[in-house]
Amino acid sequence: MKVLNVVGARPNFVKIAPLLREMAKRPQIDPVLVHTGQHYDAQMSDGFFDALAIPAPDVNLGVGSGSHAQQTAEVMKRLEPVLEVVRPDVVLVVGDVNSTVAAALVATKLGIRVGHVEAGLRSFDRSMPEEINRLVTDALADDLFATEESGVMNLAREGVPAERVHFVGNVMIDALRLAKPLWQGATVFRDLGLDPQGRYGVVTLHRPSNVDDPRRLREMVSALQELARDFPLVFPVHPRVRTRLARESVAWRTPKQPLPARGLVCMDPLGYLDFVALVSRASIVLTDSGGIQEETTMLGVPCLTLRENTERPVTVTHGTNRVIGTAPRRIVDEGLRALANPPLPQAPPPLWDGHASARIVDVLLGVAIEAAA
């Protein structure tokens, strides 16, 4: 069975790693890896392949940056001839980035079966590009692999036949568990001159609604600076956000420079292992990332989501996540509250047990056997 796996952006790399590892155990599967090049910066791409032991891509489409329409169109144009040559039995897409929806569209039009890992997640906010990508991909997919029960319910409400929906758990958590010995031994604390037992926080921001509006970004930065008056708040900056922050009055750490004892400190992106290690010991995490909401849930770290909604409600009902919006005063107040009274970690969400990848591959092979019969 030939499975063509499509990745394009940093979150995809984390999700595909345990899937490829599981496929390697199954002699019935011939995996092919296509990197669209949506994230092409070495800090956002190459380092993840190395840290997660992902094999070199069989094909790199080299799409690069551009508007949503340009990026999606380029992936479609460059992927179509690859699919026509490889003729896979299944195209497996992960997450909700432009590469995900583009690959699903091309494969479907060529009559190739599509599997979507992380299906059914909904923020119910169509101003988010990711929400559009999720809706379209799920409408096209033949096999929909849900990470949490809300995804199964959302797909049922949208009329997806139950036999196409598979509640399998979360491959992001598979990756977190598999890499635990590595991130526990990461040198990030020594590199930053940071006491892992001390109080510090971590920030990530990348969503257009937060970083593309100069006024909102300025207000959020000001609130984060106020929150960090007594401890360091580490902000590894996404490349697309760096130019926007250039207009703001922020401290920037240069390589090999120790962190100051307090304040919001911006720095270059971290690799997966260093970043997870940093998050695992943090007193608080403030983010607009869905994947980080999931990771903090498993790590038992207080997380404040700087958005008005989340497509991952299980991180609120079963985890340490709270959705607080972007009002500056609330960021400060909720941050101080979480530091003073951190939420108690709970049992992991259902099926977040490190075996989601195995369940997905079992389903794919079951489909193959069915087709052969």
Sign of CA dihedral 286, 323, 298, 174: negative
What is the DSSP-derived secondary structure letter of residue 257? P
- Choosing from 35, 68, 206, 355, which is the catalytic residue? 206
Q: Which residues pair with 166 in a beta bridge?
A: 145
What is the DSSP-derived secondary structure letter of residue 231? S
CA–CA distance, 141 with 122 (Å, rounded to integer): 16
Between strands 232-236 and 321-323, the pairing is: unpaired
Give, in order, the Cα–Cα distances in Å from 221 to each of 248, 261, 275: 8, 18, 21
State the amino acid at position 230 in one-letter form.
Answer: D
330-335-338 Cα angle (round to 5): 125
Instruction: Give me 220's structure tokens.
Output: 């959020």
Is 206 an active-site residue? yes
CA–CA distance, 373 with 370 (Å, rounded to integer): 5
Closest CA to 338 of 314, 306, 313, 310: 306
Q: Which residues are catalytic, by number?
A: 206
